[in-house]
C-alpha cells in the first residue's frame, strides 16, 4: 500500500514506498552567517502541537486537529573566535545539510550559547536555536 503525506506546516510530500538509503554524517554541514568554523554536529527537532477539538458529542474520546508547528535545535562547534554567534535579538538564516541535496533551511534565533573548556579535550561551544517562520525541507 502506498501512503503519501506531508509534514504538518510544510509542502514537502513524503512517500513510504521505499526506505531511503542511509546517509553518513561526514556529509553534514551548516551554513549560518555567524558560525563558520569547526562545526562538529547539529540536531533538529520539528514538532507539531495538536489542538484539542473534543466536544461533548465525542463520547469521551478525545479528538485533535493539526495545530501549530515549531522547530528548534542545537549546534556543537570547536571554540573559534571566528564564530560570533551570540544570544541576540536578530534572526539569521540557517541551512542544515545532511547530504548534498538534503537540506533544512529557515530563519533562527540563537537562544543559548554555552562554552565548555576541559583540561583533557578541546574547547567547544554549544548553541541552541529556535526557528521562526517556516522550515523549508529539500529532500532528493
Q: How far apart are CA 49 and CA 36, in angstroms?
A: 32
Domain ranges of the chain: 27-52+62-138
40-70 tens-digit pLDDT: 888 999 999 999 999 988 888 999 999 999 9
Q: How far apart are CA 42 and CA 30, in angstroms?
A: 8
Residue 104 pLDDT greater than 80, yes or no: yes
pLDDT value at residue 86: 67
Q: Is 68 left (phi over 0), alpha (psi -120 to 50) or beta?
A: beta
Q: Are 104 and 87 in contact (CB under 8 A)?
A: no
Residue 117 pLDDT greater than 80, yes or no: yes
Residue 111 pLDDT greater than 80, yes or no: yes
Q: Give the 3-state secondary structure of residue 35.
A: strand
Q: Which of 91, 77, 86 is nearest to 113 (CA)?
A: 86
Supply the CATH classification number for the domain 27-52+62-138: 2.30.110.20
Q: Give the 3-state secondary structure of residue 103.
A: strand
Percent of the chain at pLDDT above 90?
A: 33
Q: Find the DSSP H helices in the chain.
A: none
Q: Give the 3-state secondary structure of residue 93.
A: strand
pLDDT value at residue 85: 62
Q: Which of 37, 106, 117 is nearest to 73 (CA)?
A: 106
Residue with cell 551570540: 86
* Pairwise pLDDT comparison (139 vs 38), residue with the higher score: 139
Amino acid at each position: 500500500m502506498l501512503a503519501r503525506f506531508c509534514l504538518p506546516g510544510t509542502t514537502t510530500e513524503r512517500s513510504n514506498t521505499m526506505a531511503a538509503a542511509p546517509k553518513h554524517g561526514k556529509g553534514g554541514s551548516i551554513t549560518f552567517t555567524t558560525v563558520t568554523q569547526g562545526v562538529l554536529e547539529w540536531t533538529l527537532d520539528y514538532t507539531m502541537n495538536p489542538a484539542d477539538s473534543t466536544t461533548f458529542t465525542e463520547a469521551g474520546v478525545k479528538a485533535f486537529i493539526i495545530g501549530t508547528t515549531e522547530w528548534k535545535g542545537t549546534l556543537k562547534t570547536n571554540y573559534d573566535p571566528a564564530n560570533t554567534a551570540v544570544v541576540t535579538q536578530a534572526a539569521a538564516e540557517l541551512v542544515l545539510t545532511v547530504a548534498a541535496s538534503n537540506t533544512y533551511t529557515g530563519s533562527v534565533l540563537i537562544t543559548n550559547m554555552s562554552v565548555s573548556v576541559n583540561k583533557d579535550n578541546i574547547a567547544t561551544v554549544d548553541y541552541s536555536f529556535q526557528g521562526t517562520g517556516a522550515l523549508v525541507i529539500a529532500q532528493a
